[in-house]
């Protein structure tokens, strides 16, 4: 459910970025599932939280939900760029590329 809430909030508050990523995700050979990616990002970010990888993100003032949404937006945009730069052959590259993307996001 949190994944769907994040996608909805992202699309509502960052319409242009979300539309650009949705368009990117529907283009020819390099397409990816926008909603599935959004849900995966939520899962990855929750794992990062549990592992303490994102602790420094929350050292700034603000509501936790707002900070998480900022990190979610950053991660979604970064994944989109990484997806294009990885030059996937087809959708079957999603698993391999998403694993590499999550490793880079941990840094």
What is the pLDDT averaged over residues 29-43? 85
**C-alpha span between 66 and 45 (Å, rounded):** 14
Residue 107: the pLDDT is 61
- What is the longest distance spanned by two Cα atoms in the chain? 42
Residue 11: the pLDDT is 92
The answer to whether residue 56 scores a pLDDT higher than 80 is no
The answer to whether residue 38 scores a pLDDT higher than 70 is yes
**C-alpha span between 62 and 52 (Å, rounded):** 19
Query: Is the model more confident about 77 or about 31?
Result: 77
How confident is the model over 81-99, as pLDDT tens digits? 888 888 888 888 888 888 8
Full-model pTM: 0.81
Query: Is the model more confident about 83 or about 56?
Result: 83
């Amino acid at each position: 459910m949190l994944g769907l809430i994040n996608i909805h909030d992202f699309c509502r508050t960052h319409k242009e970025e979300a539309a650009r990523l949705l368009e990117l995700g529907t283009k020819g050979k390099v397409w990816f599932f926008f909603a599935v990616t959004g849900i995966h990002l939520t899962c990855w970010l929750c794992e990062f939280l549990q592992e303490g990888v994102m602790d420094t993100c929350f050292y700034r003032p603000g509501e936790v939900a707002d900070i998480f949404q900022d990190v979610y937006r950053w991660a979604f945009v970064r994944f989109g760029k990484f997806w294009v730069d990885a030059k996937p052959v087809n959708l079957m590259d999603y698993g391999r590329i998403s694993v590499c993307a999550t490793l880079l996001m941990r840094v």
